[in-house]
């Protein structure tokens, strides 16, 4: 049977590190020569191995499910230690099909309010990290599949790039989207336009894979991208959920190694068909693996710590570009209260230490290029005292008690209580980050001024009274106590309030007062 492997070249392992000339390395070379002369072959090989290991080639960047509850604070190293993360997923809004949303739950503005996403990304960059945003995923509609105008589609992608000052984006194409030819063409044309507008923008594709490699539809998408002039920075394959394609008795690490090697062959073939020849090192450096840590969706597939270590060894051997995981939210044991047969979004389903997979994949990993903190996000000048008129949350007061998850502003910064606290100053010095009851989320931003509302009358009209029994979705408008409110996201049983203690966490947005009769 013919297939993508017919003209493939078998890749050889890549050296563990690419080295630049330096006095230190010249010194090592002299030592190597001396050792060879002396006949110390074993010692010499050990020295070479140490030199090669100085510069790791494989980066580590786990996926973070942004909308999942409880919130994973990717900007907090005690919850997520990697410096670079991939945030998922941007999909089409359920009402406005050419508008981007986070999982259909939040518009970009709503995510800033409800999740403090803008602020937390600024914080991640403050500490030297950065994020890639992923479009698509297994659930909901990737924008290109439902937004039929290429210009509007390009604008939707650009809105996300501008909002988060992105240097890298990812397109996770799976399920029915794989075979949607017209959507794939629109997406490729839009990405080409994005790269013309954003010269340094890095673009990754994420595709399903089996031990035999990409599906025919996946190969076709790579070919299409190259044919349309898209500059691909990487191809990430989902090394998970192999089903019948994995031979009985084959470990997840072995299946992943086969899948990655086959992907190398297919990527080499795609570039050759496009008239471009890349070295085997360049191709390996473009490939990423994303295993689903712990229990996979297929009951017989469990990706263990042993599999993780084996994948790291393979990655170092060939010079794999990146290892990701699905997901950082799951990097913890489930505990006794969870059914082991049910795949959880918030735990791995295997016995493990907290963040154990992150430690295995992250130890010695190469750092990805980071963004500049707040490059396009303006902060409020905090030279003076905190201003309650521009504050997104109440100002911290020493006499007030705060429950867990409460948010406050102190000295131009936003903090969130990790547990009940009273009298603990948010920025008080502590020996360890886990000693403080406060988590620093990021600075007060210029955009927070939008939280200051102007009270304006509402035009006369008919508004449905709010009911605690009814489900409301984003955009629904109701009357409550002679005031009009608009739902920011899905809500039920949460009463509208004109001045909630935490406006960004409240599902209702105040619109205005209903005019009095005769006015």
Residue 149, domain CATH:
3.20.20.80
Chosen domain end from 335, 362, 389: 362
User: How much is the pLDDT for 384?
Assistant: 52
Query: Is residue 403 one of the residues assigned to a domain?
Result: yes
Query: Is residue 6 one of the residues assigned to a domain?
Result: no
Q: 345 has which bridge partners? A: none
Query: Is residue 3 one of the residues assigned to a domain?
Result: no
Looking up tokens 């230490």 gives: 353
DSSP assigned state of 331: -
The Cα–Cα gap between 331 and 347 comes to 6
The answer to whether the CB of 85 falls within 8 A of the CB of 134 is no
Query: Is residue 4 one of the residues assigned to a domain?
Result: no
Query: Is residue 182 one of the residues assigned to a domain?
Result: yes
The Cα–Cα gap between 457 and 516 comes to 9
Same-domain check for residues 182 and 266: yes
User: How much is the pLDDT for 340?
Assistant: 57
User: How far is the CA of 209 from the CAs of 131, 195, 217, 283, 286, in angstroms?
Assistant: 24, 26, 11, 17, 15
User: How much is the pLDDT for 259?
Assistant: 98
Same-domain check for residues 260 and 294: yes
Return the SS3 of 513. strand
Same-domain check for residues 409 and 322: no
What are 97's two structure tokens?
């099909």
Residue 68, φ and ψ in degrees, nearest 5: -70, 140
Same-domain check for residues 115 and 227: yes
Domain total of the chain: 4
Same-domain check for residues 183 and 234: yes
Same-domain check for residues 177 and 302: yes
Same-domain check for residues 82 and 175: yes
Query: In 40-135, where does DSSP find H-type helix?
Result: 41-52, 108-114, 117-126
Closest by CA position to 80, among listed 131, 133, 152: 131
Return the SS3 of 61. coil
Its domain, for residue 439, covers 378-452
Residues 6+ apart with CB under 8 A from 422: 398, 399, 400, 401, 402
Same-domain check for residues 175 and 243: yes
Same-domain check for residues 441 and 459: no
Query: Is residue 10 one of the residues assigned to a domain?
Result: no
User: How much is the pLDDT for 514?
Assistant: 80
Spell out, as residue ranges, where the chain has pLDDT lower than 50: 1-10, 12-54, 383, 452-455, 519
Q: What is the CATH number of the domain that holds 472?
A: 2.10.10.20
Same-domain check for residues 339 and 404: no
Same-domain check for residues 464 and 447: no
Same-domain check for residues 239 and 98: yes
Query: Is residue 262 one of the residues assigned to a domain?
Result: yes
Query: Is residue 240 one of the residues assigned to a domain?
Result: yes
- List the catalytic residue out of 75, 142, 174, 509: 174
Chosen domain end from 422, 452, 482: 452
User: How much is the pLDDT for 218?
Assistant: 98
What are 338's two structure tokens?
């969870």
User: How much is the pLDDT for 22?
Assistant: 44
* Residue 494 is a catalytic residue: no
């Amino acid at each position: 049977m013919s297939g993508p492997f017919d003209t493939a070249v078998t890749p050889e392992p890549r050296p563990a590190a690419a080295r630049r000339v330096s006095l230190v390395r010249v010194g090592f070379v002299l030592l190597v020569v001396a050792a060879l002369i002396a006949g110390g072959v074993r010692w010499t090989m050990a020295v070479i191995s140490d030199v090669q290991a100085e510069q790791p080639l494989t980066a580590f960047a786990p996926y973070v499910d942004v909308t999942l509850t409880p919130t994973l604070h990717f900007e907090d190293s005690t919850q997520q230690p990697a410096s670079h993360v991939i945030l998922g997923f941007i999909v089409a809004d359920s009402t406005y099909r050419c508008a981007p949303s986070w999982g259909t739950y939040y518009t970009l503005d709503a995510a800033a309010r409800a999740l403090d996403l803008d602020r937390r990304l600024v914080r991640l960059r403050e500490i030297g990290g950065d994020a890639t945003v992923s479009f698509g995923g297994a659930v909901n509609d990737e924008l290109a599949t439902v937004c039929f105008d290429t210009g509007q589609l390009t604008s939707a992608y650009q809105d996300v790039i501008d909002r988060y000052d992105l240097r890298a984006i990812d397109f996770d194409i799976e399920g029915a989207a794989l075979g949607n030819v017209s959507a794939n063409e629109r997406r490729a044309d839009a990405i080409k336009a994005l790269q013309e507008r954003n010269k340094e923008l890095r673009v990754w594709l994420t595709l399903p894979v089996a031990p035999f490699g990409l599906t025919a539809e996946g190969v076709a998408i790579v070919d299409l991208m190259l044919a349309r002039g898209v500059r691909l920075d990487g191809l990430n394959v989902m090394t998970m959920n192999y089903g019948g394609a994995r031979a009985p008795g084959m470990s997840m690490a072995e299946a992943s190694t086969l899948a990655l090697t086959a992907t190398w062959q297919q990527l080499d073939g795609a570039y050759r068909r496009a008239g471009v020849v890349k070295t085997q090192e360049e191709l390996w450096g473009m490939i990423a693996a994303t295993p689903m840590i712990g229990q996979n969706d297929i009951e017989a597939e469990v990706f263990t710590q042993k599999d993780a270590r084996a994948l790291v060894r393979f990655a170092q051997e060939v010079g794999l570009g990146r290892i990701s995981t699905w997901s950082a939210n799951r990097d913890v044991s489930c505990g006794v209260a969870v059914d082991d047969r049910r795949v959880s979004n918030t735990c791995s389903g295997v016995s493990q230490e907290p963040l154990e997979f992150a430690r295995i994949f992250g130890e010695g990993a190469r750092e990805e290029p980071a963004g500049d903190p707040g490059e396009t996000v303006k902060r409020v000048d905090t030279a003076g005292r905190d201003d309650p008129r521009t504050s997104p949350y109440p100002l911290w007061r020493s006499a007030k008690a705060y429950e867990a998850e409460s948010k406050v502003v102190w000295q131009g910064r936003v903090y969130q209580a990790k547990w009940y606290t009273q009298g603990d100053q948010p920025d008080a010095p502590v020996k360890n980050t886990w000693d403080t009851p406060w988590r620093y989320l990021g600075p007060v931003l210029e955009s927070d001024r939008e939280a200051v509302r102007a009270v304006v009358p509402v035009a006369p009209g008919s508004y449905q009274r709010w009911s605690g029994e009814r489900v409301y979705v984003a955009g629904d408008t109701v009357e409550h106590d002679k005031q009009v409110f608009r739902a920011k996201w899905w809500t039920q049983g949460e009463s509208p309030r004109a001045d909630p203690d935490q406006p960004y966490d409240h599902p209702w947005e105040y619109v205005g007062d209903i005019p009095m009769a005769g006015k």
